[in-house]
């Protein structure tokens, strides 16, 4: 088992970009992970009730989110340099391998995070910029140090991952509405089995690095499998609720239930066997599940749904103008471009 794990981890590390400075800084920013962040941000923007937000606002939202994510990921790797050096999977990253200096990483991380906030504030609205600050603080200031202290770090990490679709929504609508909360709930719940499967594959590597991921402190894997399975089940009622509220249509309901039951099946596989193969299958199924579910939601979107206690932001633009949306019409303040 250990040989298989080390082979998998080494292959992952060797596959990292090793080109010029641009490639190194893209690797430092975890650009592959950022791609998923941008996907969820885009979905949030598309599903939101727009308030005059056009393609330019959409591009500013994606650029600002990308810069913020790159800054947070860079600062995260800077803080974890020594621990990453102990792990097979991460030893060849730019900082532990010495290909980028800590001072250079600090400068790029801070500049990227700050630029993301500025772009979002000027190109979208202050609420979206504030959410960017929140996710960076949580990711760097809470999640990163918590990884060596408590297995509950996964919960904090899932909160961080649930915020980008909300940022997309607020960039378009200027408010946090019902649909934003649905998207956040989906992303939060999905990340738990997704990450636990990955952490089970690399549990010995995490233990070497001193990270207290649940699989690293749960030798039998019983608790890991149970928690992963519970969260796959928890995704089912969210899809039903999105349809029942009118936020998504009947095709989404059927598709979400079919995808959800498949996800549950593979979650049950990890809970029952707790093997490398079952963890690998659950991990890859999770990668298929999320884009298909979000794609169904976009394709079969319903009507905008109001929610009590909606948080609104007043954009630095002109006064409110009425905007019609499906069967309802309400005044919404336009976002600045």
27 and 147 belong to one structural domain: yes
Domain count, the chain: 2
Q: Do 153 and 277 sit in the same domain of this protein?
A: no
In a domain, 275, yes or no: yes
Same domain, 155 and 205: no
Is residue 186 one of the residues assigned to a domain? yes
Per-residue pLDDT of the chain (337 residues; tens, 9 = 90+): 333 333 343 444 444 445 677 788 888 888 888 888 999 999 999 999 876 778 999 999 999 999 999 999 999 999 999 999 999 999 999 999 999 999 999 999 999 999 999 999 999 999 999 999 999 999 999 999 999 999 999 999 999 999 999 999 999 999 999 999 999 999 999 999 999 999 999 999 999 999 999 998 998 999 999 999 999 999 999 989 999 988 999 999 999 999 999 999 999 999 999 999 999 999 999 999 999 999 999 999 876 554 444 444 444 333 333 333 333 333 333 343 3
The CA distance from 277 to 282, in Å, is: 9
* Residue 14 falls inside a structural domain: no
Of 143, 175, 207, the last residue of a domain is 175
Radius of gyration over every alpha carbon of the chain, rounded to an integer in angstroms: 20
Tell me what pLDDT residue 19 has: 60
289: CB partners within 8 A, 6+ apart: 190, 259, 262, 263
Residue 317 lies in a domain: no
What is the CATH classification number for the domain harbouring 229?
1.20.120
Residue 253 vs residues 56, 103, 238, 303: alpha-carbon distances, Å: 32, 50, 10, 15
Question: pTM for the complete prediction?
Answer: 0.82
CATH number at residue 92: 1.10.357.140
d(Cα 27, Cα 15) in Å, to the nearest integer? 11
181 and 171 in one domain? no
Residue 146's domain comprises 21-175
In terms of domains, do 181 and 303 share one? yes
150 plus 242 within the same structural domain: no
How many contiguous H segments (helices) and E segments (strands) does the chain have?
15, 4
Please indicate, yes or no, whether residues 160 and 182 belong to a single structural domain of this protein. Answer: no
Q: Is 317 helix (H, G, I), strand (E, B) or coil?
A: coil
Do 162 and 209 belong together in one domain? Answer: no
User: Would you say residue 30 lies in a domain?
Assistant: yes
The pLDDT assigned to 5 comes to: 37
Is residue 191 located within the same domain as residue 167?
no
Same domain, residue pair 82 and 170? yes
């Amino acid at each position: 088992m250990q040989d298989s794990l080390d082979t998998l981890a080494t292959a992952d590390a060797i596959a990292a970009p090793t080109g010029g400075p641009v490639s190194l800084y893209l690797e430092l920013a975890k650009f592959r992970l950022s791609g998923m962040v941008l996907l969820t941000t885009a979905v949030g923007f598309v599903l939101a009730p727009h308030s005059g937000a056009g393609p330019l606002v959409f591009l500013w939202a994606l650029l600002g989110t990308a810069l913020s994510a790159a800054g947070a990921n860079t600062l995260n790797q800077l803080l974890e340099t020594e621990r990453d050096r102990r792990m097979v999977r991460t030893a060849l990253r730019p900082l532990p391998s010495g290909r980028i200096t800590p001072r250079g990483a600090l400068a790029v991380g801070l500049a990227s995070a700050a630029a993301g906030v500025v772009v979002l504030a000027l190109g979208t609205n202050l609420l979206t910029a504030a959410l960017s600050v929140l996710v960076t603080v949580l990711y760097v200031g809470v999640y990163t140090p918590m990884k060596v202290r408590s297995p509950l770090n996964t919960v904090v990490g899932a909160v961080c991952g649930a915020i980008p679709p909300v940022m997309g929504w607020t960039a378009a609508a200027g408010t946090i509405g019902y649909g934003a909360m649905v998207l956040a709930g989906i992303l939060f719940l999905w990340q738990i089995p997704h990450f636990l499967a990955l952490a089970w594959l690399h549990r010995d590597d995490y233990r070497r690095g001193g990270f207290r991921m649940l699989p690293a402190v749960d030798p039998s894997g019983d608790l890991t499998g149970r928690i992963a399975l519970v969260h796959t089940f928890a995704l089912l009622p969210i899809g039903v609720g999105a349809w029942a509220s009118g936020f998504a249509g009947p095709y989404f309901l059927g598709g979400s239930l079919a995808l959800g039951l498949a996800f549950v099946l593979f979650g049950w596989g990890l809970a029952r066997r707790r093997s490398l193969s079952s963890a690998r299958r659950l991990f890859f199924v999770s990668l298929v599940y999320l884009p298909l579910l979000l794609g169904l939601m976009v394709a079969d979107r319903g009507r905008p749904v109001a929610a009590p206690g909606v948080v609104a932001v007043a954009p630095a633009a002109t006064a409110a103008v009425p905007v019609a949306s499906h069967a309802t019409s309400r005044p919404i303040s336009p976002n600045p471009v």
